[in-house]
Homo-oligomer: A and B are copies of this chain.
Amino acid sequence: MSEGDATSGEAGGEGAGEGRAVFFVSDRTGITAETLGNTLLSQFEAVRFRRVTLPFVDSAERACAARERIDAEAERSGCRPLVFSTLVDPALRRVVASCRGVFLDFFDAFIQPVERELGMAYARAPGRMHGMADPARYAGRMDAVNFALATDDGAGVRHYGQADVILLGVSRCGKTPTSLYLALQFGVRAANYPLTADVLEGGVLPAALAPHRAALYGLTIAPERLAMLRAARHPDGGYAAISACRAEVRRAETLYREEAIAFLNTTAMSIEEIATTILQHRGLR
């Protein structure tokens, strides 16, 4: 059925330059399937992938439709798609497993040893991971998001007594996205307070922070990286100048040391790495 010639068929998806097809199949959001699949795919940098997520595959009809879509792609590209699945229902799993892709299901791989060890069968209830299965935990995460927004960038200091952690740092070192990630992913209440040029020239801990010393956690960053991040946002003016960045970072680190505030260099770190390092250091996980 393909209009391509035999050579392009043999070369396969990634050889032909269009990339290997990858499907993430889930009965709910697809977030777990994407996390699992992408963790594996990130180990193959030389290969280009074309990703398709098929979420909410929660009926026999939708499972058949998913299989057909995968098979059509296999037919079209002449190459087996990779299929990462987190289908809770074994019947739906069997339908998609009969596709012409390489079918890798998370429950197939792991549920049996866990069942055996716990001495019981699993619930087969879809969507527990990223759904509302635990309303108290969910409400805690939403409260933490509201807390992070209400205490972003030095606002709402009157709420600092409720903070699990208060992040300090110069502008653009990663305070706000880290606070939001701590809230959304872990339900941790993170405030953040900017060390402005004015604060840093004074060289003393702002009075608003003094009563909350135990919750303070500093972020620092290489001045060169900081200058790059600032220039991307406000290219003109002194804000992104390397001299300003160097002076601010030096003063911030001096303040952390003088005040015995633990701090972390975020230069080469993602917000996920910053957030999990803070949780680890503070025993918040």
Contacts and interface: CB of A to CB of B under 8 A. Distances in A.
A76 to B, nearest CB: 17
Given A80-B117, A180-B180, A28 B110 contact: no
A36 interface: yes
Interface in A72-125: 80, 82, 86, 88, 102, 104, 106-107, 109-111, 113-114, 117-118, 120, 122-125
What is the copy number of this chain in the assembly?
2
Given A53-B285, A272-B31, A43 B138 contact: no
Interface of A: 14, 20, 28-32, 35-36, 38-47, 53, 55-56, 80, 82, 86, 88, 102, 104, 106-107, 109-111, 113-114, 117-118, 120, 122-125, 127-133, 138-139, 142, 145-146, 149, 152, 176-177, 180-181, 184-185, 232-233, 268-273, 275-277, 280, 285
A154 to B, nearest CB: 14
Contact of A36 (B35, B46, B56, B132): B35
Nearest to A116: B102
Contacts of A152: 149
